């Protein structure tokens, strides 16, 4: 399958060829024809599969070929994104793929002053990419009306729900014309996402790519069993190897990200942190320095890293294992963009073994253990039954052995049912949410 088999118009074909894309990714090959046909669509695909182009290309084409006598500068497309980073990247994608068209886009998100965004809206654009909080805020002020929207995209719907945006999203959808094309993308399809799809889409086509297995299989993954106190030394040891050129390191907390970045920087390893408490300009600077190679290590928290799209990340290192196994897949996907191979290392201390088991269950792979490294915790017996650390509690609790086998007589704790676990973790995350969530809520008050 080639891009021109998808009946894309020349300006778009030239743009993808300038980007160096040789052929459509599976989600593009399967979604683009339906979107061009004007159908509603549910795409089950995560970041890294080429899903942005899967909706951006046919949307641009429809805007060019079906003008509906709209005045220039009328907003005809709304893309909702859960985070500002992702919104920015979607905006960049529209700019890249639409560079040979005269179409314009605007990106709006919270956490920054609204005036430049208001001015951009006054100048007009065809495509609006927004996070929910700021969009609602501007709607409530009468600055934005959505009655001219023809195509609505809900991107990363599962994250949107996880971050507590469901009510905002529903309010926004109520303001859209009922006659519209709706596209919804989500990395996972739990029941609540299917329910949402039933409410907002009409006879949708379902397109699923199975990136979790395919992406994950392309990545060389290993786990290092290590004591918490030795993690930094292990990281520095690994970074002695010059092959670790562009390294994305994940920590569980914002504080942990800051501390680690500072410690590395003091040790002459150029590093910076990216998380929700950083100002927008600090985040953009860190990302730009990482992209250009000025810094070698970017330390990130999960939500801040959503949608980070940096070519050529040589290694992803899970300094802390995530307590949500899906986050592991999202994280390591940063090192295998659109089919490239990548390397992902995970550090696992004794309290994190249950997280590792959840991850292995999800990806249906055993992650090989690196034994014999200088900081190996002894013994690296992965199958020793360990109690499940309480998910949120263990993230915050000082390391006092709460997750150690001895703590509950070596019994394997019952695994909570998936649905209840999700519900709990979602509720837990609310007050702790990273930037876009906080900013979004703050905007409405």
Cβ closest to ligand AMP, residue 264 vs residue 343: 343
Can you count the helices (H) and strands (E) in the chain?
Answer: 19, 13
Cβ closest to ligand AMP, residue 45 vs residue 63: 45
Alpha carbons within 13 angstroms on the beta-carbon side of residue 204 total 24
Cβ 33 to ligand AMP shortest distance, Å: 15
Cβ closest to ligand AMP, residue 24 vs residue 256: 24
Instruction: Name the helix (H) or strand (E) containing 151.
Output: strand 151-154
Q: Residue 219 contacts by C-beta under 8 Å, 6 or more apart in sequence?
A: 332, 333, 335, 336, 341, 342, 343, 344
Contact between 154 and ligand AMP (CB under 6 A)? no
Quick one: which of 8, 24, 117, 248 contacts ligand AMP (CB under 6 A)?
Answer: 24
Cβ closest to ligand AMP, residue 4 vs residue 411: 4
Site residues for ligand AMP, 114-153, by CB under 6 A, read: none
CA distance 214 to 288: 29
CA distance 102 to 67: 12
Contact between 49 and ligand AMP (CB under 6 A)? yes
Quick one: which of 30, 51, 246, 334 contacts ligand AMP (CB under 6 A)?
Answer: 51
Cβ closest to ligand AMP, residue 97 vs residue 109: 97
Cβ 362 to ligand AMP shortest distance, Å: 19
User: Would you give the binding string for ligand AMP spanning residues 324-363, x where CB under 6 A is met?
Assistant: -------------xx-------------------------
Give the binding range for ligand AMP (CB under 6 A) out of 43-51, 269-277, 320-328, 420-428: 43-51
**What phi-psi label fits residue 243: left (phi over 0), alpha (psi between -120 and 50 degrees) or beta?**
alpha
Cβ closest to ligand AMP, residue 226 vs residue 436: 436
**Which tokens is 278 given?**
């950083």
Cβ 310 to ligand AMP shortest distance, Å: 9
Cβ 366 to ligand AMP shortest distance, Å: 27
Do the strands 271-274 and 297-300 form a parallel or antiparallel pair, or are they unpaired? parallel
Which residues, listed in sequence order, are joined to residue 369 by a DSSP beta bridge? Answer: 223
**Which tokens is 291 given?**
């992209």
User: Would you give the binding string for ligand AMP spanning residues 229-268, x where CB under 6 A is met?
Assistant: ----------------------------------------
CA distance 58 to 12: 9
Quick one: which of 15, 31, 47, 94 contacts ligand AMP (CB under 6 A)?
Answer: 47
Instruction: Name the helix (H) or strand (E) containing 159.
Output: helix 157-162
User: Would you give the binding string for ligand AMP spanning residues 363-392, x where CB under 6 A is met?
Assistant: ------------------------------
Cβ 84 to ligand AMP shortest distance, Å: 15
- Are residues 276 and 302 in contact, defined by beta-carbon separation less than 8 angstroms? no
Nearest CA-CA partner of 151 in 251, 75, 250: 75
Site residues for ligand AMP, 294-323, by CB under 6 A, read: 309
- Are residues 89 and 52 in contact, defined by beta-carbon separation less than 8 angstroms? yes
Give the binding range for ligand AMP (CB under 6 A) out of 22-30, 133-141, 182-190, 284-292: 22-30
Cβ closest to ligand AMP, residue 20 vs residue 379: 20
Quick one: which of 53, 151, 193, 264 contacts ligand AMP (CB under 6 A)?
Answer: 53
Taking residue 33's Cβ as centre, other Cβ atoms within 10 Å add up to: 15
Render 60-119 in DSSP notation, one character per residue.
Answer: HHHHHH--TTPPTT---EEEE-SSHHHHHHHHHHHHHHTTTS---EEEE-SSS-SHHHHH
CA distance 366 to 368: 6
Give the binding range for ligand AMP (CB under 6 A) out of 47-55, 109-117, 184-192, 220-228: 47-55
CA-CA-CA-CA torsion sign (209, 212, 213, 218):
positive
Cβ closest to ligand AMP, residue 331 vs residue 441: 331
**Which tokens is 334 given?**
């940063």
Cβ 315 to ligand AMP shortest distance, Å: 18
Cβ closest to ligand AMP, residue 315 vs residue 330: 330
Contact between 52 and ligand AMP (CB under 6 A)? yes
- Are residues 438 and 276 in contact, defined by beta-carbon separation less than 8 angstroms? yes
Cβ closest to ligand AMP, residue 24 vs residue 342: 24
The residues binding ligand AMP (CB under 6 A) are 21, 24-25, 28, 47-53, 309, 337-338
């Amino acid at each position: 399958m080639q891009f021109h088999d998808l009946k894309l118009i020349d300006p778009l074909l030239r743009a993808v060829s300038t980007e160096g894309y040789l052929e459509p990714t599976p989600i593009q090959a399967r979604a683009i024809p339906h979107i061009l046909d004007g159908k509603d669509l549910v795409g089950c695909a995560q970041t890294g599969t080429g899903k942005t182009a899967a909706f951006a290309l046919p949307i641009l084409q429809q805007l060019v070929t079906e003008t509906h006598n709209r005045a220039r500068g009328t907003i005809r497309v709304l893309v909702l994104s859960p985070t500002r980073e992702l919104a920015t990247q979607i905006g960049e994608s529209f700019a890249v793929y639409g560079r040979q068209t005269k179409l314009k886009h605007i990106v709006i998100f919270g956490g920054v002053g609204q005036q430049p965004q208001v001015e951009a809206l006054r100048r007009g654009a065809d495509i609006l990419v927004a996070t929910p909080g700021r969009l609602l805020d501007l709607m409530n002020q009468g600055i934005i009306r959505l009655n001219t929207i023809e195509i609505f995209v809900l991107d990363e719907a599962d994250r949107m729900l996880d971050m507590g945006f469901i009510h905002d999203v529903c309010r926004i959808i109520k303001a859209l014309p009922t006659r519209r094309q709706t596209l919804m993308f989500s990395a996972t399809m739990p029941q609540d996402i299917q329910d949402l799809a039933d409410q907002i889409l009409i006879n949708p086509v379902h397109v699923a790519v199975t990136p979790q297995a395919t992406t994950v299989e392309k990545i060389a993954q290993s786990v290092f069993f290590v004591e918490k106190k030795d993690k930094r030394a292990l990281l520095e040891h690994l970074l002695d190897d010059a092959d670790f050129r562009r390294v994305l390191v994940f920590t569980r907390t914002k504080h942990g990200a800051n501390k680690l970045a500072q410690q590395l920087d003091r040790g002459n390893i150029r590093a910076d942190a990216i998380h929700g408490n950083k100002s927008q300009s600090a985040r953009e600077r860190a990302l730009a320095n990482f992209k250009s190679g000025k810094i070698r290590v970017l330390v990130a928290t999960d939500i801040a890293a959503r949608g980070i799209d940096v070519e050529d990340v040589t290694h992803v290192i899970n300094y802390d294992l995530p307590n949500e196994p899906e986050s592991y897949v999202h994280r390591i996907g940063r090192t295998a963009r659109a089919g490239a191979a990548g390397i992902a290392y995970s550090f696992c201390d004794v309290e994190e073994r249950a997280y590792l088991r959840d991850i292995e269950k999800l990806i249906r792979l055993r992650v090989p253990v690196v034994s014999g490294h200088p900081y190996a915790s002894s013994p690296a017996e992965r199958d020793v039954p360990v109690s499940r650390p309480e998910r949120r509690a263990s993230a915050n609790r000082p390391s006092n052995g709460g997750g150690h086998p001895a703590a509950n007589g070596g019994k394997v704790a019952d695994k909570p049912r998936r649905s209840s676990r999700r519900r709990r973790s979602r509720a837990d995350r609310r007050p702790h949410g990273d930037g876009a969530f906080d900013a979004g809520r703050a905007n409405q008050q």
